Amino acid sequence: MAGSLLLFQNDLRIEDHPALHAARTEADWVCPLFVWSPADEKPWAPGAASRWWLHHSLLALQERLAGRGAPLVIRSGDVSETVQAIAKETGAESVYWSARYEPHTAALQSDLRKDLQKRGLKVRIFPGRTLFDPSTLLNKSHEPFQVFTPFWRSCVARIEESGLPQAIPTPRHLTPPPRRVRSQEVADLGLLPKIPWDAEFGPTWKPGEEGAHKRLRHLLGIAAQYHDLRNRPDLDGTSALSPHLHFGEITPRQIAQAVLDEFGVTPQEWSRLPEGPRVFLAEIGWREFAHAVLYHFPQTDRAPLKSKFEAFPWKYAQRPLRTWQRGLTGYPIVDAGMRQLWRTGWMHNRVRMIVGSFLTKDLLQSWQAGAEWFWDTLVDADLANNTLGWQWISGCGADASPYFRIFNPIMQGRRYDPEGSYIRQWVPELAKLPADVIHEPWTAAPEVLSGAGVVLGETYPQPMVDHAAARVEALEALAKTKEARD
């Protein structure tokens, strides 16, 4: 009997899974395998929040696979050695997995494939994490795209011409190896924090396919208004699908197809979609763009795409960085976002831009420092998305926001959290302030502060910088950077 190993990585699902389908149909039995090997993932081993999600996602996957008849085998150690050992133990002749495109994991995949093939194992690698293979996404000059709009226009044209990939059938039954394979428990991997800082993660999230499809149903319910809701952190107006996408609990193909079906539109009729769902699907497009940029410019996980920014005079000071991380900057919308991040492992996308601008332009701290903090604290810490986002807001990446576009945290707060509801939720010491001063409490009359129980400098900090002065300093730093490169 010919058997196969299915190596799970960031594809923790059984629905719409090309590698699983092939492993099941091309062999007599399949052994699902997950290998925890953070050493192999360096320098981008999963951060603390991602490890929390991974623990619970593995439990959910374990349950689904067991229900189909093939238990998930969990091991820790070197991936190549582990796969070879289990192949020898079970007699498996082939190994299947889903492609990953991050620079460090792509190199690991290549080495793993060579190692396994040298030992006589058949290796097959399948798509699944993105709509398109990033290596195929080039402009008319056969160069990588660096601007989003023509990139996404090209992707949509491809969809209109060829449709979306076909859905992969979900297996009703999986035949396991002839003899039982030893497995560790998920708890043995030590993914959960020893100090319970994750108390609010459980009530906030449901990792796994079931949770992913619940969030998809939420998205479909708001999709018609998505373009109006998406920038409002005080409302549940986004999909919050990003961690589910990162861990492969749902595919972008499934999401795109569900949106099209909801509005009765075929892929060839993409342009007929109303504004709301079109805007949402463009967010899926940004994810595609992020993966394509990182694939074609692998140095950008650490270095700016626009090389002139290598000379930018960042301050690299620990105290302001730590103040920002703790949500004690004195700017309520910034502090609300940083506290939401710490307590739930997630932050609204509009607020990510606000806090990113504040760190890199008001505090002149490097985008890399922000990216590293997000990497450790986000449950959706995706290397491509995280890199593109931070380089965009700091002005040094693909299709970047110009450096001179500096977000005013007061105006951003007033515009996108008009009643201060988001701030009241995450900065409760300001909860009793009226909406007209909650975004800049230092302007409130003494009796208003007193009535709200706010003592600036004691119960809530004074602003750590003056935004107007910080903006001038940031623009001067940019001017010096340009002069140094000219």
Residue 486 has pLDDT above 60, yes or no: no
183 inside domain: no
* Per annotation, catalytic residue among 93, 160, 283, 429: 283
In this prediction, residue 479 carries a pLDDT of 86
Do both 134 and 123 map to the same domain?
no
Do both 118 and 142 map to the same domain?
no
Distance, CA of 284 to CA of 289 (rounded, Å): 9
Do both 108 and 163 map to the same domain?
no
Mean pLDDT score, 244-250 = 98
Q: Which domain holds residue 257?
A: 130-169+209-296
29 inside domain: yes
450 inside domain: yes
For residue 314, give the 3-state DSSP assignment. coil
**Token duo for residue 330:** 């004195």
Residue 70 has pLDDT above 80, yes or no: yes
For residue 479, give the 3-state DSSP assignment. helix
For residue 278, give the 3-state DSSP assignment. helix
Do both 143 and 75 map to the same domain?
no
Q: Tell me if residue 314 is catalytic.
A: yes
* Per annotation, catalytic residue among 36, 53, 367, 375: 367
- The model's confidence at residue 400, banded by pLDDT at 50, 70 and 90, is confident
Q: Tell me if residue 205 is catalytic.
A: no
* Per annotation, catalytic residue among 314, 372, 429, 473: 314
CATH no. for residue 221? 1.25.40.80
By C-alpha distance, which of 282, 279, 285, 262 is closest to 216? 262
| DSSP string across 154-186 | HHHHHHHHH-SPPPPPPPS--PPPSS------G
Residues 127-157: tens digit of each pLDDT: 979 999 999 999 999 999 999 999 999 999 9
Residue 401 has pLDDT above 80, yes or no: no
H/E segment holding residue 73 = strand 73-76
Do both 329 and 357 map to the same domain?
yes
221 inside domain: yes
Mean pLDDT score, 336-348 = 98
Q: Tell me if residue 442 is catalytic.
A: no
Distance, CA of 475 to CA of 454 (rounded, Å): 34
186 inside domain: no
Q: Domains in the chain: how many in total?
A: 3
Cis amide prior to 43 (ω within 30 degrees): yes
Distances (CA, A) of 325 to 80, 322, 350, 377, 462: 38, 5, 17, 10, 16
189 inside domain: no
Residues 444-457: tens digit of each pLDDT: 999 999 999 999 99
Do both 453 and 316 map to the same domain?
yes
The phi and psi torsions of 191 (rounded to 5 degrees) equal -80, -25
Q: Using only C-alpha atoms, what is the Rg of the chain?
A: 24
Residues 6+ apart with CB under 8 A from 297: 144, 305, 398
* Per annotation, catalytic residue among 270, 342, 390, 426: 390
Segment among 85-89, 229-233, 368-372, 403-407 with least mean pLDDT: 403-407
194 inside domain: no
* Per annotation, catalytic residue among 93, 197, 349, 408: 349
Residues 357-398: tens digit of each pLDDT: 999 999 999 999 999 999 999 999 999 999 999 999 999 999
CATH no. for residue 125? 3.40.50.620
Q: Tell me if residue 152 is catalytic.
A: no
Mean pLDDT score, 401-418 = 93
Give me the amino acid identity at 264: G
Do both 234 and 340 map to the same domain?
no
Mean pLDDT score, 102-126 = 94
Say if residues 62 and 8 touch (Cβ distance below 8 Å). no
Residue finishing a domain among 129, 157, 181: 129
Residue finishing a domain among 296, 327, 344: 296
Q: Tell me if residue 367 is catalytic.
A: yes
Do both 50 and 139 map to the same domain?
no
Segment among 58-67, 238-247, 307-316, 453-462 with least mean pLDDT: 307-316
* Per annotation, catalytic residue among 29, 36, 286, 426: 286
- The model's confidence at residue 485, banded by pLDDT at 50, 70 and 90, is low
Distance, CA of 65 to CA of 72 (rounded, Å): 6
257 inside domain: yes
Distances (CA, A) of 342 to 122, 169, 317: 44, 38, 21
Residue finishing a domain among 296, 315, 339: 296
- What average pLDDT is seen over the chain? 96
Do both 376 and 418 map to the same domain?
yes
**Residues paired with residue 122 on neighbouring β-strands, in sequence order:** 94
Do both 142 and 291 map to the same domain?
yes
Distance, CA of 286 to CA of 398 (rounded, Å): 11
Q: Tell me if residue 10 is catalytic.
A: no
Do both 356 and 427 map to the same domain?
yes
Do both 119 and 136 map to the same domain?
no
Residues 263-315: tens digit of each pLDDT: 999 999 999 999 999 999 999 999 999 999 999 999 999 999 999 899 999 99
